[in-house]
């Protein structure tokens, strides 16, 4: 079948990343014999009109889109266009938002045929093997509607052995266009260099109240072997000339021994790369810092979130402030640039608490501190708690951007919160 995979055009201010989720789907479908076209509208700087022209030109049998919460309406608009242009095109939606709100999303559009929930590689391939809707009931992990009624099959089990996955279909992407943007302040010294990203694991055993990752990828952490990880790194370096590569696992150092093995293999293969990794302060120590440094890592991102312990506890971060300070000190002493994310606008938080967090971030002397406003994404504990208390101000998903308050906070107005966010930016620059 002819399959087109894409996502809504979304303007980005920082360096764009290859859509790895779609890349994994594409490679899996190609391996099953399907003709696949993969479009990244972000790096191509497409607007919706450009993307819809590409869809019309390719005229796919199946259109698959992935969508985050704030872009769900854009995705449904593209699906509507495709269905009107070709009523026989099967329209499929996946990604975090439709996975967590499948029934509601289906009811949003009569043009959407089906939702693939969670990991989609096996599910989508099975779907394309089925000839009619009567057979859909045998496929795990899907939701669809018929005559106004929504049907759902049981959840699909997570893929246990990630080494069985084929590398993302990099050959279907304009890989030369993924470069560090000149105005990306966090990567200023790497500007213009070829940029790539990689998953080395899926799943997160943490249960942060604001994050839906464990609902998408599962609480069970699954990892690729160090050899497979480094083989893909070599592909990115040798075939696509990537020099700055970011590991986008939720917690790269969750298993420190495995992370060290990866670092040692990178050093053994003498890969000339600059690495970035995302991790937690309670899974970071001097041992892994030294190994990362020798492997070429130059930047570490910690999700510290707050400088007030009661706020950390509400967010269910699972660590103490002293652990955050210690991890940052270790990273800085090892020579890393350190970036951290912080969240403000948390229920129960006062203006004084937010000012304390700003002071804490400044005290850490970070390369960069990112301040976001708490957004209750569907599927998160924060969403469940604030929805139950009738604190959510809107269900207009386009407002769920991390940059505006959609929670009714008794002690802080929306205007005050935006002012504190601006203050945080300037105080920690």
| pLDDT band with cut points at 50, 70 and 90 for residue 424 | very high
Q: 2-152 is classed in which CATH architecture?
A: 3-Layer(aba) Sandwich (3.40)
Question: Is pLDDT of 5 > 90?
Answer: yes
Dihedral over alpha carbons 126, 128, 131, 136 (to 10 degrees): 50
The CATH code for residues 179-427 is 3.20.20.70
Q: What 3-state class would DSSP assign to 57?
A: helix
At 35 the pLDDT is 98
Residue with token string 């997570």: 158
* In 52-122, beta strands by DSSP E: 62-66, 90-94, 114-116
Question: Is pLDDT of 429 > 90?
Answer: no
Of 376, 378, 375, 207, which is closest to residue 280 (Cα–Cα)?
207
| pLDDT band with cut points at 50, 70 and 90 for residue 427 | confident
Annotated domain spans of the chain: 2-152, 179-427
Residue with token string 């890592």: 297
The rounded Cα 322 to chain-centroid distance in angstroms is 28
Residues 182-218: tens digit of each pLDDT: 999 999 999 999 999 999 999 999 999 999 888 788 7
Question: Is pLDDT of 219 > 90?
Answer: no
Q: Name the phi and psi angles at 350, rounded to 5.
A: -105, 170
What angle is formed at CA 35 by the lines to CA 29 and CA 37, rounded to 5 degrees?
Answer: 90
Average pLDDT, the chain: 95
* Cα 262 to Cα 297: distance, rounded to the nearest angstrom: 12
Question: Exposed e or buried b for every residue in 340-365, given b needs 16+ CB within 10 A?
Answer: bbbbbbbbebeeebbbbbbebbeebe
At 166 the pLDDT is 96
Q: Establish whether domains 2-152 and 179-427 are of one fold.
A: no
* Cα 267 to Cα 259: distance, rounded to the nearest angstrom: 13
At 11 the pLDDT is 85
Q: What is the DSSP-derived secondary structure letter of residue 102?
A: H
């Amino acid at each position: 079948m002819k399959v087109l995979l894409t996502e809504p055009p979304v303007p980005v201010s920082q360096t764009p990343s290859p859509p790895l989720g779609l890349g994994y789907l594409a490679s899996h479908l190609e391996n099953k014999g399907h003709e696949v076209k993969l479009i990244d509208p972000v790096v191509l700087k497409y607007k919706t009109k450009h993307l819809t022209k590409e869809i019309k030109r390719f005229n796919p049998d199946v259109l698959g889109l992935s969508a985050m919460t704030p872009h769900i309406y854009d995705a449904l608009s593209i699906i509507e266009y495709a269905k009107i242009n070709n009523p026989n095109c099967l329209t499929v939606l996946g990604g975090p938002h439709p996975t967590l709100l499948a029934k509601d999303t289906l009811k949003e559009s009569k043009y959407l045929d089906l939702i693939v929930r969670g990991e989609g590689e096996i599910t989508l391939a099975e779907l394309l093997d089925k000839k009619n809707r009567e057979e859909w009931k045998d496929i795990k992990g899907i939701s669809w509607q018929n005559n106004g009624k929504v049907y759902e099959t049981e959840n699909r089990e997570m893929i246990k052995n990630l080494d069985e996955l084929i590398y993302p279909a990099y050959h279907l992407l304009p890989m030369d266009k993924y470069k560090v943007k000149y105005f990306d302040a966090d990567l200023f010294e790497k500007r213009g260099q070829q940029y790539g990203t990689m998953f080395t694991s899926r799943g997160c055993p943490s249960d942060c109240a604001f994050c839906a990752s464990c609902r998408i990828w599962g609480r069970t952490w699954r990892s690729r072997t160090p050899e497979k990880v480094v083989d893909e790194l070599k592909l990115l370096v040798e075939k696509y000339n990537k020099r700055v590569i970011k590991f986008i696992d939720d917690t790269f150092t969750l298993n420190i021994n495995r992370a060290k093995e990866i670092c040692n293999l990178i050093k053994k293969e003498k890969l000339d790369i600059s690495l970035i990794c995302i991790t937690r302060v309670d899974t970071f120590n001097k041992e892994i810092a030294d190994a990362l440094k020798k492997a070429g890592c130059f930047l570490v991102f910690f999700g510290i979130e707050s400088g007030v312990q009661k706020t950390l506890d509400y967010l269910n971060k699972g660590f103490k402030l002293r652990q955050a300070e210690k991890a940052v000190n270790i990273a800085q002493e090892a020579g890393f640039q350190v970036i951290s994310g912080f969240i403000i606008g948390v229920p129960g938080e006062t203006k004084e608490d937010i000012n304390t967090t700003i002071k804490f971030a400044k005290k850490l002397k970070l390369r960069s501190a990112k301040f976001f406003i708490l957004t209750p994404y569907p599927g998160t504990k924060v969403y469940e708690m604030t929805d139950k208390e009738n604190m959510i101000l809107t269900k207009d998903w386009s407002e769920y951007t991390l940059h505006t308050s959609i929670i009714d906070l008794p002690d802080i107005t929306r205007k005050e919160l935006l002012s504190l966010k601006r203050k945080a930016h300037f105080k920690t620059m």
